[in-house]
Structure formats: structure tokens, C-alpha cells
Chains A and B, each alone.
Chain A
Amino acid sequence: MSLLSLTDLTVRRGTRTALDGVSLTVGVGECVGLIGPNGAGKTTLMRAALGLLPATGTSTLAALPLAERARIAAWMPQTREIAWPVSVETAIALGRLPHLPRGARPGALDRAAIDAAIVRMELEDYRTRTATRLSGGEQARVLIARALAQDTPLFMADEPIAGLDPAHQIATMKVFADLAREGRSVIVSLHDLGLAARHCTRLVMLQAGRLVADGPPAEVLTRENVERVFGVTAYYETTPQGPVFQPMEVVR
């Protein structure tokens, strides 16, 4: 069963083609890492797939009514915005909005989802703190928890681990891998190819709006692909502690 299916998705901005005929299908239990240099179209791909950008081609998600889409896919944008000094718990509870009928208060099911998200992101001690007074990395974890609380089959996040400390980067990637093992799917854009190689089940590589490679990390992070798309050489070995990927030198 596929959760998201894109066919020939194209986004034009002015005369520039930000996304050029991307087709891909995401099934159940996949942790998809979206990789590519700055401006490759990672954000555009995810926003167009969610129907947040006008695009040609089709996206099964964008075709859904707004309310139904919100119960299938959660989205954490790259811009980390918490406009008001609400408590961490209040911010995370916002993720339950799509499940609540108008005017209803959160029920037991909602509380359970909020608590589970708080535990997953290790935010138990932060519950009553004011979200806007946290550090950037802490705010990112709150926003990831908010999207987790939405409790959707598909979880999409735009550079969620940027700005996190190493321990929380690894922990967060493990949360995404866990979600995939539990039968959900994750699409996450990231620049840390080492973490992508270790924790994603599948990588989608973009360059200049085009999909250039799609498959298991070992098939996507080949020497040619990494050199051609990112312009770097890399060390990539499978070690007893799992795959290790380390960019080494700039080649151009």
C-alpha cells in the first residue's frame, strides 16, 4: 500500500523550474531521506507533495481534502516558528487539532498521543516551560514532538535535525527509524549524509529539481553520485558498527 504517490510533479517559480517532473511512491514502513545540495528542490518537493504549493503533475496527498490530508500527513516546516509564549505542552498539543471536532477539548486518546510524543522527544522536563524561551535546538525538538502528536501514518519534516546536538540528532533519527519499523512512513530532508546512511531505509537524491537517484543508501551514495551531485569525495564503508559515511574533500 502506498501512502504517497507523486507523478511527474513539477513546480515553476517565474521562469525557473524548481522541481522538474519528479515521480516517486512511498510505501508503508519506509524512512526516506531526502538529500541534495542547497536549492536542489527538497523543500519544494515536500511542500508541493502536501499541496502547499501550486504544482503540475499529481500528488495523491495534495488531491485530498484539507482536513483529511491533515489526518494522514504531519508536516514540520523548515522555518521554526512559535509565535506566542505558550507552554511546551500547549505547543505540542496543537498537533491534535486535526483530530478534534470544532470546540472539543482533548480527550484521553489525544492526551495519550501528546504524552507519547513528549516521551519520544525526551521533553518530560520541559512540559511547563515557555516554548519561546527555549534554545533553537530545543524548539526544534518541541516542533518535532508537535508533528509526532499529530499521529499520522506519514510524517514529513524539513531539516528537522539541523541545529540539534549530536546526541539529539542521533536520537531523533532513531525516532524516525522506529516510526518506520512501527509501520508508519517518514520523509525527512537532511544534509548529514552520515546520519542518512545509517538511519534511513531509502534515500532520494535531488539535483537542480530533478530526481537523480532513488534506492537503499548503499546504492544512492555511490562515489559517482556523491561527486557529481555534491561535488565532494567521501569515505563510505560498512563497518561492524554499521555503515559509516564521511565527506572528505571538495572536488570542484
Chain B
Amino acid sequence: MRLAATLVALCAALFVLSLVTGYASVPAGQALKALIIGDGTPLSVVMREIRLPRALLAAMIGASLGLSGAALQGYLRNPLAEPGLIGISGAAALGAVLAIQTGLTLHFALALPLAALGMAVLGVLLILALAGPRGGSITLILAGIAISALASALTSLVLNLSPNPFAAADIVFWMMGSLADRSFAHVWLALPFMALGWVMLARLGRGLDALTLGEDAAQAMGVHLPRLRLALVIGTACAVGAATAVAGAIGFVGLVVPHLLRPLVGARPSALLWASALGGAAMVLATDIAVRVALPDRDLKLGVLMALVGAPLFLHLIYKTRKELP
């Protein structure tokens, strides 16, 4: 409970900090007042239309990545699993790349996230068809790797054949992952999918706990494995597909956050679910603040900084784990 309170307080503090961080340097009190009162001044428009959706998206995306990372690690009983593993983020990225390449995004602002979501749905259908009806985890990993490889090959093909260098540059920058210039339209587009994904993933706790003892033991304890796997895949696809659709690919959150919090919840997969959702939200909020503070004049991409922070953090964790192993 103390951990929950700490994480909630951390998220709340980072959320407020995210709201008062930005290109226009305004005293924090004044900025928050403009946000709440909404008097039609330019400042209140900035707060309500730019910074609020940005902070909301950071929290939503972080929670989605953390939660699905924890669920996948629990299901696969492998601390190296991460949401990208089942190929949904790769498929969503391909959808976005196609939308940029075909110029759809120039005609219609939401074409990009919609195309990404559409491709994510296609990815899920393919995975479910490939992984087969029984509840095994190996087939799911193999299907995910196949989808990831296919999606990244097609993305490379689009880049390769792109006749338009501007579109190619756009694609490359989009793929780095960012929350700059997002609006409430993005929030409303992502929220229903994410909320559905959160509900589906949050309900897996019991089954994931039982899976600690292996698939056979879990089944004998009354866990319906095919149903659990279906909920896991669809829940992850909803949450991560929507996150990738609005912000591009952001790695390491789903990998590092569950790893970091596992010792603090006594390693129980069910407790790790909510903890990782909160921890993920905090990590993305913090990184999104950092990209604005570190290089305010350059558009430092969220995904780039996340990888820069995440990779050494992960190395440190591996080093620590190595010391504990025989």
C-alpha cells in the first residue's frame, strides 16, 4: 500500500510538473490558474489545448506500456519480454508509415493514428491465426517475432522506395516517438482503446499468479489458458496499438519498469500489474519533461531519450541480477 501511495504521488507530481514545463516560460502558479479558469487568453489556450493533452497522453501511454509489459512478462514467465514482442507496435508503425508515405496525413490529420490502429488490428488477427487455438506461450512468441519481422521489413521497403525525401524524413522522425504537438483529438482517439486494454489486462492478475508455477499447474488450478492468452493479446494490442498510433514507437518502458518494480511487490505478477502501470506513467511523464528541459530549442524525441535512459538502466539491472545468480 505504501508503494501504491508513493507511485500515485509521484505520478501526480510529475503530471503537474509536465503541465508547467514548456516552450513559453510562465510562472507555475499563473500557468495552473490559466488552465483551471480558462479565460480565453493565449496562455489558457496553450495550457488547455497543448500542455494538458500532452501530459495526459504521456501518463496514458506510460501506463499502457508498463501494464502490458508486466502482463507479458507474467504470461511468458520471462523478465525479458516487452510489449513490442508480439509485433503489435511494429504493425502499428507500419500503418503510420504508410499513411505518411501516401500523403494521407496531409489531407486529414488523424489519418496517421487511424491507419496505425487499423494495421494493429490486422496484426492481432494475424497473430491469433498464427498462434493457434491452444493456450501455449511458445507459439505466441514465434508468431509475434514473425509479425515483427514482417512489419519491419515492409516499413523498410516503404522507406527504400520512397520517392519523396521529405516523407522519408517525416517517417524516420515519427518512428523515433514523440508527444510534441499532440491535441485532445489524439487523447479521445486513443483513450477508448487504451481503457479497454487496461480493463482486459488488469483482470489477468489471478491467472498470471497461477502461471508462476507453470502452465500445467495453472490449468489444474482452474485457469483457462486459451482465454487468458486471448485477453492478453487483445488487451496488449488495444493499449500498445493505441499508444504507438498516437506517439510512435517508445521502447524500454515495458521492459524496464516491471523489472524495476518486481522486487518491491514481492515478485507477485498480479501486484506488478498496477504497480507497473503507475511506474510506466511516471517514467514517460518524467522523460517527456526531460526532452523539453534538456534541449528546449531542438526537437529532442521522446523515444530517443527513453532509449538513452532505458538502456543503461537495463544494463545496471542485468548487472545486479547477475550478482544475485549463482
Which of A's residues lie within 8 Å of B, judged by CB?
47, 50, 52, 66-67, 69-71, 73-77, 79, 81-87, 90-91, 94-95, 97-98, 102, 143, 146, 150
Contacts and interface: CB of A to CB of B under 8 A. Distances in A.
Contacts of B263: 85
A143 B223 CA distance: 18
Contacts of A150: 221
A83 B81 CA distance: 13
B222 A84 contact: no
Given A70-B222, A150-B221, A91 B266 contact: no
Given A90-B268, A97-B206, A83 B212 contact: yes
Interface of B: 77, 203, 206, 209-214, 216-217, 219-224, 262-263, 266-269
List the 8 closest A-B pairs by CB distance, nearest first. Answer: A70-B222, A75-B220, A83-B77, A81-B214, A84-B267, A77-B216, A67-B222, A98-B222
Given A52-B219, A70-B221, A97-B222, A84 B269 contact: yes
B215 to A, nearest CB: 9
6 contacts: A66-B222, A66-B224, A90-B267, A95-B221, A97-B209, A98-B222
Given A73-B220, A98-B221, A102-B206, A86 B267 contact: yes
Contacts of B209: 94, 97
A90 B268 CA distance: 8
Contacts of B211: 83
A59 B219 CA distance: 16
Contacts of B266: 86-87, 90
Contacts of B77: 81, 83-84
Contacts of B267: 84-86, 90
Contact of A81 (B213, B221, B222, B224): B213
A123 B203 CA distance: 32
Which of A79, A91, A94 has the most chain B CB atoms closer than 10 A to its own CB?
Answer: A94
Contact of B213 (A47, A102, A143): A143
A84 to B, nearest CB: 4
Contact of B221 (A83, A86, A97, A102): A97
Nearest to B212: A83
Which of B77, B209, B214, B217 has the most chain A CB atoms closer than 10 A to its own CB?
Answer: B217
B166 to A, nearest CB: 48
Contacts of B222: 66-67, 69-71, 97-98
A13 to B, nearest CB: 14
Nearest to B219: A52
Given A81-B214, A86-B266, A94-B221, 4 more contacts: A81-B212, A82-B213, A86-B212, A97-B206
Contacts of A83: 77, 211-214
Given A76-B217, A81-B217, A85-B267, A91 B224 contact: no
Contacts of A102: 203, 206
B64 to A, nearest CB: 22
A81 B217 CA distance: 9
